[in-house]
């Protein structure tokens, strides 16, 4: 199975060939842990979770090493700590836990490694020392800066010219840097801020060096795939490349992947604009994590995706159909069958999730139409294998439908039980009446040899 991926660095879709198929490495820039993640922040962990699943499918479960970090030291975190009067590590540990819980609800697998920036400061100091020794970085009173002029390649990822880079690169407190687009590797210690000792003066790391150092520490470079949101191309990933490649003399990553923005009314969902929806509140409103995940996967990862209730409603309907098929085959023992080639091929084509979802719909139809036991066993196996790759149908079908009816589920259970009793007593008028009442609530009862189950009417 050949995987092709769009590489931001070459601006082309390319066949993917890991440098060592028994050790495929990927890194995704993780959250800055200062407040709740919004659904846009959940897009990278969800889409690259599908990539992780696909790579494991192709190269083997233990052959893929996936690292996603926590940025737990940053200007925004320090500001939040001062504003709320809460110690930094209390905020970061809390938000980290919340983040993990939120994305676990979206069926995101736990990455192989989850380094924290604050636990890797010595590795950052080591890279900075290397850069200073090579003349690629310099020390001034406000900190240590990377010298963009010393790097001929600078701008290759984002495609920006040195002239373009000069514009708008001023940051408060960095007046002593030599060139406007030089960026901080290390910020000299300020009163009341956390700081670490270093040969070039006490201080704290800049954001970009955190990822460069953690990649080196956790995976070693070059890595096979580096990914994140499209807003990270510049300056974050450009600067990661500049630092790592200047320090180590070889590429940081071979393939760079970037997901498009989640928008609301066509505007980027962002904390600073304030147009945000969080998985946390959607889960509180009774949406299932899997519905949020499915909605996020309904567009190609590179395309923008506009978030609205209609998108969630559609996702819920599609999942109800998938769960309905699974419920129908509840008592069928699945055969030994893999996900069909057409489905895997769709994902292998630069993670084309809309095409994969279309193939999945065919599998659902097959499952619904299967009558012979052998057909049903194969259809069920294919449905399970395909949905595992996409990370959906991870719930028990009966629980799924119960959960989607929220508080009404217990009443529906009671009605279904009454109907079973009426049938046992051969009171068919009553059992038909209850069936009609349930139908009025959008519920379909399915009777089988082992009892009665119910689902949302398709």
Report the interface residues with Zn ion, using CB under 5 A.
29, 211
- Figure out which of the listed residues 51, 253, 269, 386 binds ligand AMP, where binding follows CB under 6 A: 269
Q: Which residue is nearest to ligand AMP (CB)?
A: 229
Instruction: Return the closest-CA partner of residue 453 out of 351, 330, 364.
Output: 330
d(CA 251, CA 236): 16
Task: Give yes or no for residue 32 binding ligand AMP (CB under 6 A).
Answer: yes
Q: Residue 246, preceding bond cis, omega within 30 degrees?
A: no
Query: Which one of residues 18, 205, 222, 228 is an interface residue with ligand AMP (CB under 6 A)?
Result: 228
Is there binding between residue 75 and ligand AMP (CB under 6 A)?
A: no
At its nearest, how many Å lie between Zn ion and the CB of residue 334?
40
Least CB distance to ligand AMP at residue 307 (A): 9
Residue 100 lies near ligand AMP (rule: CB under 6 A): no
Contact status: 279 vs ligand AMP (CB under 6 A): no
- Answer with the entry of ligand AMP, Zn ion, none that 211 interacts with (C-beta below 5 to 8 A by kind): Zn ion
Answer yes or no whether residue 353 interacts with ligand AMP by CB under 6 A: no
Of the candidates 8, 25, 27, 31, which one interacts with ligand AMP according to CB under 6 A?
31
Structure tokens at 30: 């993780």
Judged by beta carbon, residue 70 or residue 400, the one nearer ligand AMP is 70
Position among 113, 160, 190, 268 found at the interface with ligand AMP (CB under 6 A): 268
Q: Which is nearer to ligand AMP, 42 or 438 (CB)?
A: 42
- Rounded Cα distance between 361 and 366, Å, is 9
Q: Where does residue 143 fall: left (phi above 0), alpha (psi -120 to 50 degrees), or beta otherwise?
A: left
Tell me the CA distances in angstroms from 189 to 70, 99, 195, 200, one per residue in order.
Answer: 22, 29, 6, 11
Is residue 307 part of the contact set for ligand AMP (CB under 6 A)? no
Question: Binding segment for ligand AMP among 36-44, 143-151, 158-166, 449-457 (CB under 6 A)?
Answer: 36-44
Nearest CA to 212 out of 252, 182, 250 is that of 252
Distance CA 233, CA 392 (A): 30
**Residues near ligand AMP (CB under 6 A), total:** 17
Residue 229 interacts with ligand AMP (CB under 6 A)? yes
- Regarding 231 and contact with ligand AMP (CB under 6 A), the answer is yes
CB of 33 to ligand AMP, least distance (A): 8
Distance CA 70, CA 68 (A): 7
The answer to whether residue 44 forms part of the interface with ligand AMP (CB under 6 A) is yes
Task: Give residues with Cβ within 8 angstroms of 364, minimum separation 6.
Answer: 321, 322, 325, 383
In 336-442, DSSP assigns E strands to none
DSSP letter (8 states) at residue 371:
-
List own/partner pairs for 136-139 with CB under 8 A and 24 or more apart. 136/246, 136/247, 137/185, 138/178, 139/200, 139/201
| Contact residues: ligand AMP, CB under 6 A | 29, 31-32, 40-41, 43-44, 228-229, 231-232, 259, 261-262, 268-270
């Amino acid at each position: 199975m050949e995987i092709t991926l769009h590489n931001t660095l070459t601006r082309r879709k390319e066949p993917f060939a890991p440098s060592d198929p028994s050790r495929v490495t990927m890194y995704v820039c993780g959250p800055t842990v200062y407040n709740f993640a919004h659904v846009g922040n959940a897009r990278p962990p969800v889409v690259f979770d599908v990539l992780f699943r696909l790579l494991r499918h192709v190269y083997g479960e233990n052959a893929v090493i996936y690292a996603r970090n926590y940025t737990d030291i940053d200007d925004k975190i320090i500001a939040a700590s001062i504003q709320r009067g809460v110690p930094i590590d209390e905020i970061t540990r809390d938000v980290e836990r919340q983040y993990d819980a939120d994305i676990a609800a979206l069926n995101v697998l736990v990455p192989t490694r989850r380094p924290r920036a604050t636990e890797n400061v010595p590795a950052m100091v080591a890279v900075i020392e290397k850069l200073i020794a090579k003349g690629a970085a310099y020390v001034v009173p406000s900190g240590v800066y990377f010298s963009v002029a010393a790097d001929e390649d600078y701008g290759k990822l984002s495609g920006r010219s040195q002239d373009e880079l000069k514009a708008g690169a001023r940051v408060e407190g960095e007046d002593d840097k030599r060139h406007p687009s030089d960026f901080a590797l290390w910020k000299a210690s300020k009163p009341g801020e956390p700081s670490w000792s270093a040969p070039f003066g006490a201080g704290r790391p800049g954001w970009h060096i955190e990822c460069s150092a953690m990649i080196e520490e956790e995976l070693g470079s070059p890595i096979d795939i580096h990914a994140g949101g499209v807003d990270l191309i510049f300056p974050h990933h450009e600067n990661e490349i500049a630092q790592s490649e200047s320090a180590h003399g070889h590429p940081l990553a071979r393939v760079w992947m970037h997901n498009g923005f989640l928008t609301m009314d066509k505007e980027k969902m962002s904390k600073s604009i304030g147009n945000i929806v969080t998985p946390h509140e959607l889960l509180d409103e009774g949406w299932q994590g899997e519905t949020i995940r499915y909605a996020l996967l309904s567009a190609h990862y590179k395309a923008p995706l506009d978030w609205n209730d209609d998108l969630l409603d559609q996702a819920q309907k599609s999942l109800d159909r998938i769960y309905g098929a699974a419920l129908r085959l509840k008592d069928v023992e699945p055969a030994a069958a893999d996900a069909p080639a057409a489905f895997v091929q769709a994902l292998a084509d630069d993670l084309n999730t809309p095409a994969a979802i279309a193939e999945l719909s065919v599998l659902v139809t097959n499952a619904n139409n299967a009558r012979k036991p052998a057909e049903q066993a194969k259809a069920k196996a294919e449905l399970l294998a395909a949905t595992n790759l996409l990370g959906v149908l991870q719930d028990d079908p009966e629980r799924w439908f119960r959960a989607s009816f929220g508080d009404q589920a217990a009443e529906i259970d009671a009605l279904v039980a009454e109907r079973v009793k009426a049938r046992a007593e051969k009171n068919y008028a009553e059992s038909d009446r209850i069936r009609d009442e349930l139908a009025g609530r959008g519920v379909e009862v399915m009777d089988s040899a082992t009892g009665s189950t119910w689902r949302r009417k398709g």
